[in-house]
């Protein structure tokens, strides 16, 4: 293949993005399709993409991409986010991570024969799971709320922690290899302290600068999301670059520290930083997987030994259960949920990227030591095997396993209401009075303040952004959606997400409920004006009325919307908008 670095990078970005888009539409993890695509287009297939053609820039591209991914992960390491996470997550991020690190290293040492420095690096690399693979699986695999929250939070929060541990162990391994196995304590301390010291210093400085810029960037008291995105990307890349300028591997530490600082500071616009990641991260994940897979020689699979497969099995079915056992002591997870979590730990792009960097640097540090170079290649191969098998297992057998263990969740009863106007607030209050879970979302802080003053839960945000809805609002808690804002375009966008996520029968777009007048007579502005004048009230009735607008039904403590039964049960109550025809 000719010197096709431009060709390789352009095709990797384009094809990776297209594959990721198709997988997103199909609601399946993109990892395996991306790996297969990379192998097919790489040296083992059509020879159109060659990650190695990028030369030294390839490692730089990987490091910068990981920096963006761990920056986004760091934005979740706030006191508020950690406070919302189940107690089990704290264990998963601490003793669970240590158990995985130690367990994988021991397996690599005694099953594969890796030297301890390389084995410990592999253990650190496989700590991470990752939201890019877990979230698509969880979206199509409804689990009980506690289990869902624990697995989702682990996937989001473990990335920056795993990367920092991997960097530390890689530095230690390189020192030992360059020193011929001798441990020079002062040199080791300096090599470890310098990246972390430089990373922390740069991260704090960049984080403070980003906070200041966000305050200055406010226009008429509001934050421009596009400006926030630019500040976020700029802060992340400056942190990575400045950190690397001071000490190798300090850039990733700096990016993580800057993100954590922003996450724990009440700066207007800080929450919008979560949004910048979605499209960019999806593109980066697709590109990285295609480039990394293009370097993979399919013939290496012919040399995979029984011990290699045994290692993968031990990682998935011995080390992971040990992780769950030690990290969930005292948690509220049932034994069935713990068993499921023990068998669910798919790895993603961060593990693949860090493994690739580690393999390159270990090979360079090995010099003429062919055995260490072989072990570095083995580390890379084992990581790809674990990624492929763990993703296939979680994606293919997750649903049957959830059914077998009875940890699946039916459709949630919570009602998500978009639009905090008086009609929706009144409806939400009635639902809440009947012990229903309800949340109101609106982009106007004053409207949400009014809803909260009435005793309701509310969130300020853009409901037309599906990623924000998924990560900050929905989280598997709501099974019904009312998209009634008075803006038909907003209602249409929100309802489209709802129909794809919850099902057509569980979404109300605008005022189109059961047993009511034709849609063109459901003028929200007129109804709100009539409510303000006292001509319209929202009440609960024993049966729907033909001259009123029925919005929802309550059966016992269950909420249901717009599926009027032919013969309602005796305990069915109808939430109805009663009005005088003369006024509406």
Which option is the CATH number for 414-579: 3.40.50.720, 3.50.80.10, 3.30.470.30, 2.60.210.10? 3.40.50.720
pLDDT band at 519 (very low <50, low <70, confident <90, very high): very low
Tens digit of pLDDT for each residue in 276-319? 566 777 888 899 999 999 998 888 888 899 999 999 999 999 99
pLDDT band at 344 (very low <50, low <70, confident <90, very high): very high
pLDDT at 580 over 60: no
Read out DSSP for 253-299?
Answer: HHHHHHHHHHHTS--TTTTTHHHHHHHHHHHHHHHHHHHHHHT--GG
The residues, any chain, with a CB within 8 Å of residue 489's CB and separated by 6 or more, are: none
Q: How far is CA 255 from the centre of its chain?
A: 18
List, in sequence order, the alpha helices (H) in 411-509.
Answer: 422-433, 445-453, 466-468, 488-502
| Residue showing tokens 């800057």 | 258
Which of these ranges, 143-152, 267-276, 311-320, has the smallest mean pLDDT? 267-276
pLDDT at residue 538 in the model: 78
pLDDT at residue 556 in the model: 63
pLDDT at 99 over 90: yes
Tens digit of pLDDT for each residue in 36-79? 999 999 998 999 999 988 888 888 888 888 888 888 777 766 67
Contact 409, 146 (CB under 8 A): no
DSSP annotation of 496 reads: H
Q: How far is CA 183 from the centre of its chain?
A: 39
Q: How far apart are the first and last CA of the chain?
A: 73
pLDDT at 520 over 60: no
The length of the chain is 584
Enter the CATH code of domain 5-298+306-405.
1.20.1530.20
Domains 5-298+306-405 and 414-579 equal at CATH topology level: no
Residue 455 CB neighbours (<10 A)? 10
pLDDT at residue 34 in the model: 92
pLDDT at 522 over 60: no
Distance (Å, whole) CA 284 – CA 282: 5
Which of these ranges, 97-106, 141-150, 231-240, 380-389, has the smallest mean pLDDT? 141-150
**Could you state, in order of their start, the residue ranges of all structural domains in the chain?**
5-298+306-405, 414-579
Tens digit of pLDDT for each residue in 407-441? 987 667 788 999 999 888 988 898 888 767 889 99
Distance (Å, whole) CA 199 – CA 550: 59
């Amino acid at each position: 293949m000719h010197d096709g670095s431009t060709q390789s990078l352009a095709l990797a970005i384009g094809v990776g993005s297209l594959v990721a888009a198709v997988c997103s539409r199909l609601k399946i993890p993109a990892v395996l399709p991306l790996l297969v695509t990379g192998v097919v287009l790489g040296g083992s297939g059509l020879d159109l993409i060659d990650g190695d053609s990028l030369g030294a820039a390839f490692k730089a591209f990987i490091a910068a991409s990981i920096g963006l991914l761990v920056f986004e992960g760091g934005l979740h390491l706030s006191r508020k986010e950690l406070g919302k996470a189940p107690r089990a997550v704290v264990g998963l991020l601490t003793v669970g991570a240590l158990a995985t690190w130690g367990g994988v290293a021991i397996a690599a040492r005694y099953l594969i024969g890796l030297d301890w420095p390389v084995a410990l690096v592999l253990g650190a690399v496989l700590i991470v799971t990752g939201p890019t693979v877990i979230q698509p699986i969880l979206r199509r695999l409804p689990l009980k709320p506690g289990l869902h929250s624990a697995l989702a939070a682990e996937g989001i929060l473990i990335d920056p922690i795993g990367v920092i541990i991997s960097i530390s162990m890689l530095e230690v391994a390189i020192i030992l290899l360059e020193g011929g196995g001798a441990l020079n304590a002062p040199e080791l301390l300096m090599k470890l302290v310098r990246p972390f010291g430089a990373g922390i210093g740069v991260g704090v400085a960049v984080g403070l600068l980003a906070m200041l810029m966000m305050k200055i960037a406010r226009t008429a008291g509001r934050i421009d999301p596009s400006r926030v995105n630019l500040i976020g990307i700029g802060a992340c890349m400056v942190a990575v670059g400045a950190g690397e300028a001071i000490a190798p591997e300090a850039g990733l530490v700096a990016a993580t520290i800057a993100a954590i600082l922003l996450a724990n500071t009440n700066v207007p616009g800080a929450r919008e930083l979560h949004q910048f990641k979605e499209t960019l991260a999806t593109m980066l994940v697709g590109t990285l997987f295609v480039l990394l897979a293009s370097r993979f020689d399919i013939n290496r699979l012919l040399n995979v030994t029984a011990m290699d497969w045994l290692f993968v099995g031990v990682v998935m079915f011995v080390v992971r259960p040990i992780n769950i056992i030690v990290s969930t002591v005292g948690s509220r997870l049932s034994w069935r949920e713990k068993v499921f979590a023990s068998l669910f730990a798919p790895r993603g792009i961060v593990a693949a990227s860090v493994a690739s960097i580690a393999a390159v640097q270990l090979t360079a540090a090995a010099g003429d030591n062919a055995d260490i170079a072989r072990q570095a290649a083995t580390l890379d191969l084992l990581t790809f095997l674990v990624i492929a098998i763990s993703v296939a297992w979680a994606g293919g057998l997750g649903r049957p396993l959830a059914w077998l263990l009875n940890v699946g969740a039916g459709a949630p009863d919570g009602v998500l209401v978009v639009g905090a106007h008086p009609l929706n607030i009144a409806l939400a209050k009635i639902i809440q009075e009947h012990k229903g879970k309800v949340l109101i979302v609106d982009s106007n802080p004053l409207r949400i303040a009014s809803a909260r003053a009435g005793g309701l839960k509310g969130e300020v945000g853009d409901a037309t952004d599906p990623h924000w809805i998924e990560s900050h609002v929905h989280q598997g808690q709501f099974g019904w959606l009312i998209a009634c804002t008075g803006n038909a375009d907003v209602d249409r966008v929100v309802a489209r997400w709802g129909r794809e996520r919850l099902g057509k029968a569980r979404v109300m777009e605008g005022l189109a409920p059961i047993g009511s007048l034709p849609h063109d007579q459901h003028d929200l502005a007129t109804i709100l004006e009539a409510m303000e004048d006292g001509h319209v009230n929202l009440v609960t009735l024993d049966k729907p009325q033909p001259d009123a607008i029925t919005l929802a039904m309550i059966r016992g403590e269950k909420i249901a919307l717009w599926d009027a039964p032919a013969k309602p049960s005796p305990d069915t109550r109808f939430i109805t908008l009663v009005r005088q025809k003369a006024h509406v």
